[in-house]
Amino acid sequence: MTVDMGVEEVGVSSLDDMDEASFSAAAEPHRRELHVHCYRMLGSFQDAEDAVQETFLKAWRARGTYEGRATFRAWLYRIATNTCLDLLAGRRPEPATGGEVRWLQPYPDSLLDELPAAGADEPEALAVARETIELAYVVAVQHLAPRPRAVLVLRDVLGWPAKDVADLLGDSVNSVNSALQRARAGMREHLPAERHEWTGADGDEDSRELVRRFTEASVAADLDAIAALMRDDVRYSMPPWEGLVVGRDAVVADWTANGYPEMRGLRAVTTAVNRQPAIAYYLWREQEDAYVALTLDVLRISGGQVTEVTIFDADRFGSLGLPERLVDDGAAQ
């Protein structure tokens, strides 16, 4: 299954006569999809933003080389992909020994909603669009070497023909097909085995109820209630810190050792990132007379239980469109 989430291509046959304003007007409609593409490649919201800015700059400088043989959109994707490969070659660290990706950052659903929607008659495209942005998928992609990673995203997510990918990478079709096989094998190795059981879609009432109960228990710092909602083999990580905790008892022990049961004055705001349920937590600060941003919990739900918790620091709240603080309005949370 593949999904091509592109906007309708504007008629662009030559860029030679374009001024900067006209060029920006032609390129801007592609910004969000290019940003999501770079995010899949890099795993970092901020790195993806830098890559898109670099892509637009390179495209403007190279506008004289555009010959119109490929669409303007495909030309931008070519530049964006090579920009990501350059970044990966220059400064991408390896995933930690437990498999966690320390540079991982969440992607807000509010921005994913800006992507051109697949049609209602394209359920496979909708499924792929959702599955290939979930945190577990993005993490698995980060374990691939850069070129097989690019091949996988271009072929399996965007649906590019092998010949076009080979042309982009300067490889043969046979090399691209071989890289795709290696990439798919790597993804099977790193994706959770029970992925077909995942739930949590917007229309899943059971998942919404589970998130509600998890949120209430978390605000109350009730570890027993939280543990009852977790699967035995639940996984917990907190990028950028190294350390993957596996198993309900181990997670409870870790959170207990870090003083979570004694925490008071929490409030929560439910949201969604990477097409997964998420909960933003705020902690009351007397000196600031407000609830101050604390962490963001992103949940993976399988079989009616929480299967994975990924916690991000409050420094991501701005990019997620979340407030940095909440005033005490007396409302129950």
Q: What are the structural domains, with CATH classification, of the chain? A: 7-190 (no CATH), 205-326 (3.10.450.50)
Is the pLDDT higher at 299 or at 131? 299
pLDDT at 333: 38
pLDDT, tens only, 199-229:
555 558 899 999 999 999 999 999 999 999 9
Residues 6+ apart with CB under 8 A from 313: 238, 240, 295, 296
Rounded distance, CA 16 to CA 187, Å?
42
Share of the chain above pLDDT 70, in %: 87
163-167, Cβ contacts within 8 angstroms, sequence gap of 24 or more: 164/70, 164/74
**pLDDT grade, residue 236 (50/70/90)?**
very high
Hey, is 310 helix, strand or coil?
Answer: strand
Q: How far is CA 80 from CA 32, 37, 48, 62, 150, in A?
A: 12, 8, 10, 13, 11
Hey, is 296 helix, strand or coil?
Answer: strand
**pLDDT grade, residue 41 (50/70/90)?**
very high
pLDDT at 55: 98
Phi/psi for 95 (5° steps) reads -55, 155
**pLDDT grade, residue 132 (50/70/90)?**
very high
pLDDT, tens only, 245-265:
999 999 999 999 999 999 999
Amino acid at 167: D
